[in-house]
Amino acid sequence: MYATVKNSKVLNQHTRRLANNVFGALLSRFVNLGSTLLIVPLAIKSLGTHDYGIFAVILSAVIIFSYSDLGLGLAVVNRVASAKDEQSLLEARDAISNVWHFLVRVSAFFLVVGILAITAIKVTGLGDHVFAWDAWLALIICAAFGLAPGLTQRILFGLQRNLEANLWNTAGRIFSVIGVYLAYFFHMSMPWFIIAMVGLPAIVGWLSTLLLWRGTPQLKPNKSAISWSRLSSYMRGGLQFLFLQVGVFFETGVDNILIGSVQGTQFVTNYDLLARLFIYVPALISMLAFPLWPAISHANASGDDEWVRWAVRVSFIGVALVSILSSGFFLYLHADIIHLWVGVKYQADYRLAMALAAFAVLTSLGTVQVMFMSGLGFISDQVRILAVFLLVLIPGKFLALSFSGQTSMVWTLVLAYALRMFSLWFMTKKRIANPCAQSASCLNTGSE
């Protein structure tokens, strides 16, 4: 009787925290969508269509800075999530200290090199307005300034304080909207729009960092913990996470390149519109499933295996229902939705839409599987299987597209992804059956 009550309390505690984190993710998603709907027309009206194109290209370069942490931000998640006693807290603080000071050095590197490069370009006379070098300089300064406090989001994620992290994210987006409106109202130049989009969220990020260190001093970076040897040990896990992040791009990110090179660029637009429609399904699922990772890691470290099994089972059922219903809706109405979206008539293609719908459902379920494995610390297995997956996938898609067209290319992706999921499932069962896979010494490293 006592065990039942205890398990019920544990289940309710984990579930309530997970529900709050999912709510925070939804709130952040809606605010991001709303802010985009406001920012884009303001920027176009103020900058004009030509300069807005330059502005969009410059902003897209922010992704380079997001990868510049070499995956180390994600490498600390499991250490923070599994910190439950004095020793594990010291290990979490050690990881945070080393990663934090590494990010500070990377920020300084980008700042110095960026300023020198832009200065050299302008001095040599290459700084024509067409290239918007002042806007590039604003991006480099703002992005470098906001790189280190980006770790705060990962720490809050590991602490299962996603609601707090997403509220800070929301605050950053709101300040961006206000900044863009002021730049539009006062007819400011492009660098000010960059500052509004990248610099103001960076300031919010530093504020959240200072408050985090004040509220949780036991996790505040400590100079005495800095060690290049320890940082190198974290680097392996970080690079694994970096490979997993970049690997996701090659699943579908190269499709337009393949179609353009094999069939011609005139065949890209129709595919791109349809693929973008269906990609919203796994994108939404990914955002909602992301809080599972620290929740599973924390529950596993606490020995709450029953809740882990319950959470994964419920998540798979829920994701299957949502992804099947939403993908089916897009499959049935894809031509009408695209017509309303872009304002041009779209010829329905149910064969291609069926393949994209199948992949949307499969990759949504795969997201839950990845969160489960990441929560248990099975990272190396994902890296090995992803490497094999990509070696088979890219040439397979190229051959399918060359001989049978776009629909066959997508079905090749579906088949390869299904084999990848089965391999991950098999590897997970093998790891769990291994006693070392369940020990704290194996799991807390984040990479076995």
CA 42 to chain centre: 27
C-alpha triplet 147, 149, 152: angle, nearest 5°: 130
Per-residue pLDDT at 125: 67
Report the alpha-carbon angle 418-246-115, nearest 5: 170
Q: Tell me how far apart the alpha carbons of residues 42 and 177 are, in angstroms, rounded to a whole number.
A: 9
> What six digits make up the tokens of 152?
């705060």
pLDDT for residue 13: 64
Cβ(202)–Cβ(146) under 8 Å? yes
Token pair, residue 162, equals 């996603």
Place of tokens 């998640």: 77
Q: Using alpha carbons only, what angle is made at residue 286 by residues 284 and 290, rounded to the nearest 5 degrees?
A: 130
Using 70 as the pLDDT threshold, list the residues of the chain that sit under it.
1-27, 29, 33, 49, 53, 60, 63, 125-131, 265-266, 341-344, 431-448
Nearest to 312 by CA among 363, 259, 364, 371: 371
Contact assessment for residue 130 and residue 55, using Cβ atoms and an 8 Å cutoff: no
Residues 6+ apart with CB under 8 A from 304: 10, 14
Cα distances (Å, whole numbers) of residue 343 to 335, 336, 346: 11, 10, 9
The phi and psi torsions of 322 (rounded to 5 degrees) equal -65, -45
Are the C-beta atoms of 319 and 365 separated by less than 8 Å? yes
How far, in Å, CA of 279 to CA of 266, rounded? 21
Q: Give Cβ neighbours of residue 152 (< 8 Å, ≥ 6 apart).
A: 165, 168, 205, 208, 209, 212
pLDDT score at 8: 54
> What's the pLDDT tens digit per position in 125-154?
665 544 678 888 999 999 999 988 988 888
Instruction: Dig out the tokens for 400 from the structure.
Output: 């399918």
Residue 43 burial (10 A CB sphere; 0-12, 13-18, 19+): buried
Q: Name the pTM for this structure.
A: 0.67
The tokens for 41 are: 């027309």
Contacts of 414 (CB under 8 A, 6+ apart): 355, 358, 359, 362
Q: Please tell me the chain's helix, strand, coil percentages from 3-state DSSP, rounded to the nearest 5.
A: 85, 0, 15
The pLDDT, as a whole number, for residue 18 is: 66
Structure tokens at 366: 């795969």
Instruction: Tell me how far apart the alpha carbons of residues 121 and 34 are, in angstroms, rounded to a whole number.
Output: 37
- Length of the chain measured in residues: 448
What is the model's pLDDT at position 19?
Answer: 67
d(CA 306, CA 123): 65
For residue 347, the SS3 value is coil
CA torsion sign for 102, 105, 109, 111 is positive
180-189 tens-digit pLDDT: 999 999 989 9
Per-residue three-class SS string for 126-139: CCCHHHCHHHHHHH
Q: What is the model's pLDDT at position 435? A: 44
3 state DSSP class of 42: helix
Cβ contact 59:47 at 8 Å: no
Give dist(CA 232, CA 238) in Å, integer. 10
360, 323 contact by CB (below 8 A) = yes
Query: What is d(CA 82, CA 303) in angstroms, rounded to the nearest whole number?
Result: 11
Q: What count of other Cβ atoms lies within 10 Å of the Cβ of residue 109?
A: 12
